[in-house]
Structure 1
Amino acid sequence: MTLYYFESVLPESYFDLETEPIMASKTYRLTENRKRIRGDCDGKSSLCQSIAKRLSTERGAYPIYGELYGVAFDDLWDLPATLIETEVEARIKESLLQDDRILSVKNFVFQRCENGLEVEFAVATEEEETVIDWRLEYD
Structure 2
Amino acid sequence: MKNIICIIFLIVSANGFAQSGIANDQLFLKYEAAYLTYLNNTDAQVLKKLDDDESTFYKMFISPKAIKSFKKQKNQSKWLEKNLSKTHYKSVMEAQEAYNGIVTAKNKMNDDSKIFTELLDELLKKYDSKLIWKTLTERMDK
Q: TM-score, normalised by structure 2?
A: 0.27
Structure showing greater Rg: 2
- Name the structure where helix makes up a greater proportion of residues: 2
Between the two structures, name the one with larger relative contact order (CA 8 Å, sep ≥ 6).
Answer: 2
Q: TM-score, normalised by structure 1?
A: 0.27
- Name the structure where strand makes up a greater proportion of residues: 1
